[in-house]
Homo-oligomer: A and B are copies of this chain.
Amino acid sequence: MLNSPVALRAKSNKQSCQQKIKKQKHVTTNLDLSRKDFWRERGEALKPKLKHWIVKPIEAVTIYESSEAWQKCKTEPIWQSQDLNKRLWQSGDSFILDFGETLVGKIKLNLCPGKGIHNGAPIRLSLIAGELPYDVDKEPDSYSGGLSRAWLQDETVNIDILPGEYILPRRYSLRYLKIKIISEPRCSIKFTDISIIAEGVEEHIPEPLEQWDEQLANIDNAGLRTLRNCMQDFFEDGPKRDRRLWLGDLRLQALVNAVSFKRFDQVERSIWLLAGGVFEDGMVPGAIFLYDKPVGGNRVIDYSLLFTPMLLEHVQFSDNKEIGRELFELAAFQFSFLRPYIDNKHILHDPGKWWTFIDHCKPLDRQMPLQAIYIYCLKALIKLAQLLGGDERIPEWQEEANAMARAVRKYHFDPKTCMIFSGPKQQQSSATIAWMIAAEVLTKAEGKRALETLENTSEAILPNSPYLQHYLLNAYFKCGENAKVEAMIRNYWGAMVNYGADTFWEIFRPGEDFFSPYGDVRNNSSCHAWSCTPSYFLRNLK
């Protein structure tokens, strides 16, 4: 904990870097980390009062195997929810309720004795809350993934008193709820009501635009429901799994929020909280876990850089320059971590000291994507400085950005195909092209050409996650390829909707129903912040 102002300078580990950048004056910054507690307090002061609303199930469903269905699990209605309080249940019975949409909230059960003599024994129930049918169809104890099995939303509860109303203490993200009666008190039992007490910063999802057809309306709706469900005490990445404030996700949520819920206060809260979680060396964390106090914190170097465009966009959207001024030096400081690894030719070499995320993709060469993100973010810093009234370092930053852009074009660029090659193996990837277009290293025309080349390069590394899909979409959008943007949205996010999604998934690889980076597909989050961005494009394409 730092209690006095500290003027941090880039660390001396730049001596260990073999290829040095010529001009050291770029590193000049005046970050005052003694403001850290103030930033955190600013975030805490914006804690939202969550709304709560009751959602009843639509119907009970059965799940059967179907080769057409996502994860081979197809649902079919078997009885309507108004029949619930006519049905009696005994040990061994089970049923699955469909709440009609994915929700975040608590489970409320009202139950009473059914027929027979109630002998006073407790009732034991097992519950599985699932975002997708497969989640509730498969026995949770078969879990074999790498992440904690406790992310699976299943509970075993013992209930002592009937009749009674029971609200389970934990929060779930669910559309389906399977209840199995493990043992009953001699008499059968009856559920007079089963509801979700849904919660979030907002309840109502903005209406679709008039000009849209049903598919676009559905995609927009699923995107905004995804965002709504992630807007909890802070902007979560996934309300089922992770439940962390990730900077990379927050940036995309903030973009969609600006065209929908417009809860800029909550974006601001999350920005302050990230700033308040700054590491002692001045790096903004890639993620912090906030229930109920900050725990952990990941170092993700590309996310730390993205703090700058996120701050810029927030100032632009909300017109609140104060937060821009307060956090400007923190933003500017993020570049100092990588600056020592930029060589004399203005090429950045990933030091491998921190996680360079870019995408969930092992074979992806991250050299050029990271170079592009650096340039893109540095340009955002310049814009932010200009918006706030200028800064004497702007020329230096401009020179740095330009030099790095020129270096890309000189050493890594094929003017004919407009392809940019990354790393020793000259890898071609969506990640490189998407970010080079964002960073305006390629002109609009070059970008178009590069995207075309990419489409025709079978060995190119394509996006794995909806997160990188967003930046690829952004590239087409920036190049004016609006029809392609719409087609990509229909093709990628539309495919999820066709599979029944009403919120967008953390991971979606068409044809790979059971792919998971976590070893078990049930730990994929099926309502995940970084997948909510089609609404941003659809609402800007109008």
Query: Which A residues are within 8 Å of any B CB, using their own CB?
Result: 91, 117-124, 147-151, 155-156, 158-162, 169-170, 182-186, 242-244, 289, 291-292, 295-296
Q: How many copies does the complex hold?
A: 2
Residue of B nearest to A151 (CB): B121
**A148→B186 contact, CB < 8 A:** yes
Chain B's closest residue to A166 (CB) is: B169
What is the CA–CA distance of A169 and B118 in the complex, to the nearest angstrom? 23
Closest-CB distance, A459 to chain B (whole angstroms): 34
Q: Assuming the A-B contacts A161-B291, A161-B292, are A183 and B122 also in contact, with contact meaning beta carbons closer than 8 angstroms in the complex?
A: no
Partner of A120, one of B118, B121, B149, B244: B244
Is the CB–CB distance between A148 and B295 below 8 Å?
Answer: no
Can you list 6 contacts pairing A with B, beta carbon distance less than 8 Å?
A118-B295, A119-B289, A120-B295, A124-B148, A124-B150, A161-B291
CA distance A159 to B148 in the complex (A): 12
By beta carbon, the residue of chain B nearest A143 is B183
Residue of A155, A158, A170 with highest tally of chain B CB at under 10 A = A158
CB atoms of B121 and A150 under 8 A apart = yes
A156 vs B158: C-alpha distance in the bound complex, in angstroms? 10
C-alpha gap A178/B296 in the complex (Å): 30
Other contacts beyond A119-B147, A150-B185: 7, CB < 8 A: A91-B149, A118-B296, A119-B296, A120-B244, A120-B295, A121-B148, A148-B185
Question: Are A150 and B122 in contact, with the CB atoms below 8 A?
Answer: yes
A257 CB, nearest partner CB in chain B, Å: 23
Q: Which of the residues B124, B161, B244 comes within 8 Å of A149, measured between beta carbons?
A: B124
- Once bound together, how far apart are the Cα atoms of A155 and B126, in whole Å? 11
For the complex formed, measure the closest distance between the CB of A19 and the CB atoms of chain B, giving whole angstroms: 32
Query: A33 CA to B244 CA in the complex, in Å?
Result: 63
A183 neighbours in B (Cβ, 8 Å): 148-150
The answer, among B121, B123, B158, for a CB contact under 8 Å with A170, is: B158
**B123 close to A148 (CB less than 8 A):** yes
A124 neighbours in B (Cβ, 8 Å): 148-150
> Within 8 Å CB of A291, what residues of B?
120, 160-161
Q: Which 6 A/B pairs are nearest by Cβ-Cβ distance? A: A121-B148, A120-B289, A124-B150, A122-B150, A149-B183, A156-B156
List residues of chain B with CB within 8 A of the CB of A158. Answer: 150, 155, 170
**Nearest Cβ on chain B to A71's Cβ, whole angstroms:** 22
